[in-house]
Amino acid sequence: MEKVFSSFDEAVSDIFDGAVIMVSGFGGTGGTAQNLIVALRDHGASNLTIISNTAGLASLMGFGTLPGHSAIDCGILIDNDQVGKLIASYPVSPSPSKINSFESHFREGKIGLELVPQGTLAERIRAGGAGIPAFFTPTGVGTELSEGKEVREFDGRSYIMETALKSDFALVKAHKADTLGNLSYKGTSQNFGAVMVRSSGISIVEVDEIVSPGQIESHLINTPALFVDRIVKR
Amino acid sequence: MEKVFSSFDEAVSDIFDGAVIMVSGFGGTGGTAQNLIVALRDHGASNLTIISNTAGLASLMGFGTLPGHSAIDCGILIDNDQVGKLIASYPVSPSPSKINSFESHFREGKIGLELVPQGTLAERIRAGGAGIPAFFTPTGVGTELSEGKEVREFDGRSYIMETALKSDFALVKAHKADTLGNLSYKGTSQNFGAVMVRSSGISIVEVDEIVSPGQIESHLINTPALFVDRIVKR
Amino acid sequence: MLDRLPREVIAMRVARELKDGDIVNLGLGIPSLCSQYVPEGRTILYHSESGVLNYGPMAEQGEEDDDLINASGQFLEPTPGMSFFHSADAFGMIRGGHIDVTVLGALQVSEKGDLSNWMLPSRGIGNVGGAMDLAVGAKRVIVAMEHKGRHGEPKVVSECSFPLTSPTCVSLIVTDIAVISVEQEGLILRETAPGWRLEDIQNETEPELIPANDLKEIEI
Amino acid sequence: MLDRLPREVIAMRVARELKDGDIVNLGLGIPSLCSQYVPEGRTILYHSESGVLNYGPMAEQGEEDDDLINASGQFLEPTPGMSFFHSADAFGMIRGGHIDVTVLGALQVSEKGDLSNWMLPSRGIGNVGGAMDLAVGAKRVIVAMEHKGRHGEPKVVSECSFPLTSPTCVSLIVTDIAVISVEQEGLILRETAPGWRLEDIQNETEPELIPANDLKEIEI
């Protein structure tokens, strides 16, 4: 029942080649498990499928990164050729003249992409954690992202069927954890992490602080302990 | 943009005959909008469809009710013949010898019932608020509650399709509101209310206290203001 | 006449199945007693579909709070590290496979592990509540019940005649006379109440029981 | 040569569409400027899919916090009554119809209100982000953009040739030369930039514009 790990390296040591990994964060440094990502880079597991909102906007262009700070995000795993497939909503630079490694690897045919609208991505991840294998959504109807998907009408409006996403591991950043595994986040840094911990076989969470049960007040717990497997302090 | 109403009666005055109404609460008094329910009883709207976890367990048998206290719940609307249909997971008394008005009206053919597993009920209400018209769930497969429902396999397991629930009005109890409509709840009293406010045309919320924006700390807001239309202080 | 185990002892036996770190949801009746008998040194986090994880014992008289209840409407004590959530999340946890063990009561359990626990056909209407979600969603479903019904009818049956809660979901049945596991090959009688022989238990059971190689008396 | 309206004036014109109490989600670029120009006395609650409702203005230098950003990665000031949520809830709000107005940029808008704003075909890959969810989910979609592209090509087109974000979703187009509403009967030219006549605007627009009965100059 011990969830606290003493090092980032140890916490990611059993990630295997070909694993499906969810990586938290909206795109900036807030909510991104920078140390776990470095540990996974050093660990070297290859042919990973990464599920993430972006392919790394903070490291590419300072998106959501404090002035003068440097940033690490899942982009370094792609730089390091560890990723075989990306499932994301915002995989490339907003500027066509600024190319990230995802885009160059993609053009070389070295990496696969499943491009998913951001809300559909979040909902598919939630579904994976909530025992819902598939659902219908209006998002993407009539666009190329709905090609090959089942379309069905409800009350005269068209919807497409989307399926749940699950992962072997999630690398998530939260603000505080207690030793039971309860988590709290700061501000806008819940984003994908608070959903990904629910749908991963093993959720690994990097936090600023680890406290005793009760030191995060019950009403401030965003993620109940049952979703959390491993905790490492920054 | 004024959401604060000065009386329960005024807050429910436009509820029309035949309206679909969600009523919060798990079954006990916590999280049940007792004063709004009384106002709706006095208002007299008829042929209502009520969506609620129970048909009133607090008023029937003191479920979740403090010792020595009396309780009001949606049972009084059924007593008062205002309900034509109930959508619930726990409609009758747990004891066959204790009959509530729902059960006697049901036997007389005076009220319809859609019996829904509790988790499916909660998920259908969430879906209604999240723009998801339908989803697949394993709950109820192979039982009489799945009769007539579409069954589909995903990864070798069977699931049934369930559709979203929406309502014209929701009567919800929260602990605090600020004047923008942000809500906080106490303990286990979020239950159905925190989901119902999302899927109702007009959400009407009974609270213990109304405060200025900022007096509910951001991290303690359970329900963001955009889900809340009307607030009345107890 | 052979002694039947009291409800507390059934709960005690079930409690031994709960492992350190388990997330557990306890149903009404005998199941709700289990939390009192968890062996020392094991940390169990209790989940209730009323919207709480890691709740404490029942509240003392005078300490009751109607904003802190379990799914049976009982008042709970707060605990350090307790957390709250709404019903859609509470059942996302259940359906999503985040509950390790649920202990449920039953009207009937079949040879294949089918469970019926929500409606008496004689009443014609019943409360499904969270039973179907728990039966389908929890990683392990344990039934805790009296071995036979009020009128002496068997509750461990060949086929459920009452409306199903879920097919093939039960993995262990703990009663006032036996511990039975539901396996591919059938119902395996694992443990007996003191003094009860296979044939005594078979007499009160509709499908055939297969004695375990290491069949023994229940130890608490 | 006729003067085109600066970006700030486009944003100012759009801001007049925002009503007291509206929940508004602003996209990147010109849309993000709108919040500065809301007429006095109107309370607007801004939503960002980064997970915040009712955020404040951009943070001052030295006050930045990477745990408080909008969907463009800009740092925000906290506001009394601001609330936070995860991505599934953020998009539940959008898809569920809880956003009154979204203001988006566009690469192309068609006569029928089809929107293309996520991929330049010449690049062959693009970022869809939250655009499809917003286009489909918000009660009202307003496009704020320059009337023609960098190479002089029309952006108000008969049919979108770029990949669609969503068909028939746009209700109002505000550009640097015109305000156009998308109606059943076609594109209605409602307002013109000062000095611009119908035919000047038509020259830069692919589908036919129908002048409104009360066609007038943009008033800010």
Facing C96 at nearest CB: one of A130, A182, A218: A130
Contact B180 D45 (CB under 8 A): yes
Cβ atoms B189, B155 nearer than 8 A: no
Count CA atoms within 13 Å of residue C23 on its CB side: 26
Whether D and C touch (3+ CB pairs < 8 Å), yes or no = no
- Classify strands D45-48 and C178-183 as parallel, antiparallel or unpaired: unpaired
CA distance B13 to A25: 45
Q: Is the dihedral of CA B11, B17, B20, B23 positive or negative?
A: positive
Inter-chain touch A31–D71, beta carbons under 8 Å: no
* Local confidence band at D220 (pLDDT 50, 70, 90 cut-offs): confident
CA torsion sign for D72, D16, D83, C48 is negative
> Quick one: pLDDT band at residue A162, thresholds 50, 70, 90?
very high
Query: Do D122 and D82 touch, CB atoms closer than 8 A?
Result: no
Domains of chain D: 7-41+98-217 (3.40.1080.10)
Spell out the domain ranges in chain A: 17-115+166-233
Cα–Cα distance, B7 to B9 (Å, whole number)? 5
Would you state the pLDDT for residue A114? 98
The per-residue pLDDT for D174 is 98
CATH superfamily of B17-115+166-233: Glutaconate Coenzyme A-transferase (3.40.1080.10)
Tell me how far the alpha carbon of residue C213 is from its chain's centroid: 25
Widest pairwise Cα distance in chain C: 52
Residues from chain C contacting residue B194 (CB–CB below 8 Å): 86-87
Burial of A170 (0-12, 13-18, 19+ CB in 10 A): buried
Q: Which chain B residues contact residue A118 at CB under 8 A?
A: none
CA atoms lying within 13 Å on the CB side of residue A14: 9
Rg for chain B (alpha carbons), in Å?
18
Tell me the shortest Cα–Cα distance from B80 to chain C, in angstroms: 21
Q: Where are the beta strands (DSSP E) in chain D?
A: 23-26, 45-48, 52-53, 83-84, 101-104, 108-110, 115-116, 140-144, 156-157, 170-174, 178-183, 186-192, 209-217
Q: Which chain B residue's Cα is nearest to D134?
A: B131
Q: Which member of A128, A130, A226 has the closest CB to residue C47?
A: A226
Residue by residue, pLDDT tens for chain C (220 residues) are: 899 999 999 999 999 999 999 999 999 889 999 999 999 999 999 999 999 999 999 999 999 999 999 999 999 999 999 999 999 999 999 999 999 999 999 999 999 999 999 999 999 999 999 999 999 999 999 999 999 999 999 999 999 999 999 999 999 999 999 999 999 999 999 999 999 999 999 999 999 999 999 999 998 7
Residue A171 sits at the vertex; the CA angle it makes with A166 and A176, to the nearest 5 degrees, is 120
Rounded-to-5 percentages of helix, strand, coil across chain A? 25, 30, 45
Q: Please give the average per-residue pLDDT across D184-213, as a whole number.
A: 97
Q: Is B44 on the interface with A (CB under 8 A)?
A: no
Tell me the average pLDDT across D61-76.
96
- What is residue A138's predicted lDDT score, i.e. its pLDDT? 98
Q: What is the pLDDT of residues A107-116, one digit of tens each?
A: 999 999 999 9
The answer to whether the CB of C187 falls within 8 A of the CB of C209 is: yes
Beta bridge partners of A203: A170
Q: Inform me whether the pLDDT recorded for D131 exceeds 90.
A: yes
Asked if B136 and A138 come within 8 Å (Cβ–Cβ), the reply is no
Selection from D123, D83, D87, D99 nearest residue D25 by Cα:
D99
| Mean pLDDT, rounded, of chain A | 97
Q: What is the mean pLDDT of chain B?
A: 97
User: Measuring CA to CA, which residue among B98, B39, B30 is closest to residue B63?
Assistant: B30
CB A219 to CB B159 under 8 A? no
CA distance D133 to D141: 11
Overall average pLDDT of the D24-35 stretch: 93
- Helix axis angle for C87-95 and B118-130, nearest 10°, is 120
CB-based contact, A134 to chain B, within 8 Å: yes
Burial of A35 (0-12, 13-18, 19+ CB in 10 A): buried
Q: Residues of A numbered 96-115 whose beta carbons fall under 8 angstroms of chain D's beta carbons: which are they?
A: 96, 103, 106, 113, 115
Q: Which pLDDT belongs to residue A91?
A: 98
Mutate to test the interface with B, among D68, D77, D79, D83 (most CBs of B within 10 A): D83
Which of the 8 DSSP states describes residue B146?
A: G
Out of C17, C40, C49, C153, the active site residue is C49
pLDDT tens per residue across span B44-95: 999 999 999 999 999 999 999 999 998 999 999 999 999 999 999 999 999 9
A133 reaches B (C-beta below 8 A): yes
Q: Which of A24, A94, A80, A72 is nearest to A48 (CA)?
A: A80
| Nearest-Cα residue of chain A relative to residue B219 | A220
CB distance B129 to B100 below 8 Å: no
- Tell me, what's the pLDDT at B147? 96
Cα D89 → chain centroid:
22
Q: Is D161 left (phi over 0), alpha (psi -120 to 50) or beta?
A: alpha
Q: Residue range D65-86: average pLDDT?
A: 97
Catalytic (active site) residue C191: no
Q: What distance separates the 2 farthest-apart alpha carbons in chain B?
A: 55
Asked if the Cβ–Cβ distance from B154 to A133 is below 8 Å, we say yes
Closest chain B residue to C160, measured at CA = B143
Rounded CA gap, C84 and A169, in Å?
A: 25
Q: Whose CA is closest to B223, among C86, A157, D116? A: C86
Terminal C-alpha separation, chain D: 22
Dump pLDDT digits (tens) for A44-58: 999 999 999 999 999
| Kind and range of the H or E run holding B38 | helix B34-43
A133 touching C, CB under 8 A?
no
In the prediction, which pLDDT does C220 show?
A: 77
- Nearest by CB to B218, from D82, D91, D94: name it: D82
Average pLDDT over residues A177-191: 98
> Cβ of B131 and A154 within 8 Å?
no
Query: Which alpha helices (H) appear in chain A, and where do they start and end?
Result: 8-11, 34-43, 58-61, 75-79, 101-107, 118-129, 193-196
CB contact under 8 A, B180 and D81: yes
Nearest-Cα residue of chain A relative to residue D123: A96
Banded model confidence at residue D28, pLDDT cuts 50, 70, 90: confident
Give the bridge partners for B20, in sequence order.
B49
pLDDT value for D1? 80
pLDDT at residue A1 greater than cutoff 90 = no
Task: Tell whether B123 is within 8 A of chain A (Cβ).
Answer: yes
Average confidence (pLDDT) over A217-224: 98
Residue B124 has pLDDT above 90, yes or no: yes
Residue of A41, A209, A164 whose CA lies nearest to B136: A164
Indicate the pTM of the whole model. 0.98
CB of B137 within 8 Å of a chain A CB? The answer is yes
